[in-house]
Structure 1
Amino acid sequence: MEPLPQRRSIRYNGYDYSMAGCYALTICARDKAHLFGTLPPNAPLVPSLLGQAVLAELTALPTHYPTVRLDTWMVMPNHLHLILVLTRNQVVAVSQIVGSFKSRSYRRWRQGELAAGQVAPPSCWQRNYHERIIRDAAELDAHRRYIHANPGRW
């Protein structure tokens, strides 16, 4: 059997993603399917059961990681945007936070699906995530505005 080819990293080469700072993240649903809920015009997201699990685990991140703070976030029908703040150097990496968040939210939702006699797919998340290292206050403000305006562009 031939080994799988190495995947090209989309991370900034040489950067330590466990360094304190602000990170803008976008995490997508598998196949960009509308799994997290519906977004009526001029109204907030009406979360699905999976969307409720995603919101619960998202807001619980600072409990799981005391050196992490959520600045701004928005759950959309097929993705979520958030600004994650690491408050101390080299305690936890962004990839660890995202990986455990994806696992916990999927597991929470899957347990409910199985308890209700439903079959849950093997995953609800697209592989990987997009991140941007926020470098200054102007960039932070621009990301906040983008996240808050996202439902209006939907």
Structure 2
Amino acid sequence: MNNNDPQPENNKPKYKGKYRIDSTRLPAWSYTSNARYFVTICTKGKKCFFGEIIQGEMQRSPIGEIAQKLWYEIPHNFSNCQIDSFCVMPNHIHGILIINQVQDGDANQIQEEDAMNRVSTRGDGQRGGVTGLFNPMLSKNSLSKIIRWYKGRCTFEINQIYEGFGWQDRFHDNIIRNEFVLDKIRQYIINNPINWERDHEQPPHSPL
């Protein structure tokens, strides 16, 4: 067959969905926005790296201690982020992150980054990125960048003492809309170890 001959038609999907990961983010929401976010991150394969629950209390392993320590370091690395209730569970973590862009010196940069998220640089008025939606990874102040730092730092430090640790590719988040929901989520996080025996076979879920 030469290059001028008709080529066989290939109607099969190129990757058969192997490399496609649907976004779990809210499409119309800028994740640099001031808000409180309820975040859940699971270990790869839901393996219990972080310890075990004994009589309703979490007993953290050395790996779990690293996961705990690094969560509390988030505000030291992201001045726009504060932490609220948090817990390490055997195979996941729950936490509330508060994004608050309060520094005047960052105002112009944040506006520029939001604009980059909303409009492509192609000049055709269409939204950029593979999905055509806001790209949360473009901004250093975004929720995705914060979680990416946390997961990466945990993976690096944990693999110094235990090779083979990993996270699931995605994380789960909910935007906390009001004080009632905030209190409900706080109680859910606090009571998570007590409820472990009832739902540890199920994927971690949101109380909303």
Is the pair's TM-score, using the shorter chain for normalization, greater than 0.5?
yes
Is the 1:53–1:106 contact (alpha carbons within 8 Å) kept by the matching residues of 2? no
Can you give the 5+ residue segments of structure 1 that lack an aligned partner in the other structure?
Answer: 114-119
Q: Which residue of 1 aligns with 2:11?
A: none
Q: Which residue of 2 aligns with 1:116?
A: none
Is the 1:21–1:85 contact (alpha carbons within 8 Å) kept by the matching residues of 2? yes
Q: Which residue of 2 aligns with 1:127?
A: 169
Between structures 1 and 2, the one with greater helix share: 1
Can you give the 5+ residue segments of structure 2 that lack an aligned partner in the other structure?
Answer: 1-13, 103-109, 111-139, 197-208
Q: Deviations over 1:65-123 (max 9, x none)?
A: 1211111001100111000001117461110011110000110111234xxxxxx11x4
The Cα shift of 1:50 comes to 1.5
Q: Which residue of 2 aligns with 1:152?
A: 194
TM-score (norm 2): 0.66
Q: Which residue of 2 aligns with 1:85?
A: 98
- Bigger-Rg structure (1/2): 2
Aligned length: 145
TM-score (norm 1): 0.87
CA distance in structure 2 between the aligned counterparts of 1:97 and 1:140, rounded to whole angstroms: 20
The Cα shift of 1:4 comes to 6.9
Question: Alignment identity in percent?
Answer: 28
The Cα shift of 1:3 comes to 4.9
Confirm whether residue 110 of structure 1 aligns to residue 152 of structure 2: no
What letter is aligned with 1:71?
D
Higher relative contact order (CA 8 A, sep 6+): 1
CA RMSD of aligned residues (A): 1.6
Runs of 4+ that moved beyond 2 A: 2-7
Is the 1:73–1:81 contact (alpha carbons within 8 Å) kept by the matching residues of 2? yes
What letter is aligned with 2:178?
D
Q: Deviations over 1:6-64 (max 9, x none)?
A: 42211111100111110000100111111111111133x22122111111110111111
Match of 2:151, SS? helix
